[in-house]
Amino acid sequence: QGRSKKKSRKHQRFMERRVLLEQKGLLSPQRHLGSQAPVEGPEARSTLTKVGSTVTSRCRKVPKSKEVVSPSLSPSASPDRIARHHSALLSQGNGSSKGVRMSSLCLRPGKYVAIDCEMVGTGPQGRLSELARCSVVNYDGDVIYDKYVQPELPIVDYRTRWSGITKQHMESAIPFKAAQAEILKILKDKIVVGHAIHNDFQALKYFHPKDRTRDTSRIPMLNQKAGLPGRANVSLKSLARHLLHKKIQVGCKGHSSVEDAQTAMELYRLVEVQWETELARSLPPRPPSPITDLSTDSSQYMDDQYWPTDLMTSGL
């Protein structure tokens, strides 16, 4: 009997504090579910009208439901359509669903760049590879950076047949440190596309975040589209011939880093939607968001330890 009295007093204090929180606007009024059958039809509209101007005004402004974008967007979609698709995926839901767990960086085409570097031989017998030219293009393939770079060590082998670099190019080259600072400024916070891109980062003496790197030599979807083994190490030249129907890296004058960067971006865009969706599925689950809705879990805050001082001294 004494235990029931103690429980009754605690419940009474609980209810008094709930009323006080409701009066101060810190807690939504308690709903008594099941006490009244749901009203439908014209009676419901008349009941809402009698409640007051606040409810009536809210009912007039009913927001339109967001259009749900299917994750299976056509690969032939335009760049603008793809950008809208990514933005819509990010705006839907709370991010807990794998279907919408897109990378936070897949926001718009301005976040994408493609890079390609040409290297020359330095060191003993020219076996070391150092940066001699770097080209960066944007999502549309427009050149935003293209400069010749003076290696830190003397050049032993220009590798002109592959690099396209000659002694004359070095006359207008800028020091490596200066080029590195300029390039890394461009790459910051970007999704970087390239083919065998680890070689380019090695030449830049730089490590780009893995989740912001898109290596077209490691996208099985491209190989499958070209009718090649999914895990095969296919060259950029071969992928361009099979999928883009264009010839690159021809002749004896060497490669063009601009052309290679543009080609890598074109290849990436062929499978962009499918590849990003696959990456989103492979991302680890995000930690649960903190509870912000008091009405869903308000009972814990009725305990004394959670009460502000001003409420404790207000008479209860």
- Could you read off the pLDDT of 217-251 as tens digits, one per residue? 988 899 888 888 877 888 999 999 999 988 888 77
Q: Enumerate residue ranges in the chain where pLDDT < 50.
A: 32-72, 75, 79, 83, 87-107, 289, 291-302, 306, 311, 316
Rounded to two decimals, the pTM is 0.58
3-state secondary structure the chain: CHHHHHHHHHHHHHHHHHHHHHHCCCCCCCCCCCCCCCCCCHHHHHHHHHHCHHHHHHHHCCCCCCCCCCCCCCCCCCHHHHHHHHHHHHHCCCCCCHHHCCCCCCCCHHHEEEEEEEEEEECHHHCEEEEEEEEEEECCCCEEEEEEEECCCCEEECCHHHHCCCHHHHHHCEEHHHHHHHHHHHHCCCEEEECCHHHHHHHHCCCCCHHHEEEHHHCHHHHHHCCCCCCCCCCHHHHHHHHHCCCCCCCCCCCCHHHHHHHHHHHHHHCHHHHHHHHHHHCCCCCCCCCCCCCCCCHHHHCHHHCCHHHHCCCC
pLDDT averaged over the chain? Answer: 74
In the chain, the domains with their CATH numbers are 109-282 (3.30.420.10)
- Could you read off the pLDDT of 117-144 as tens digits, one per residue? 999 999 999 999 999 999 999 999 999 9
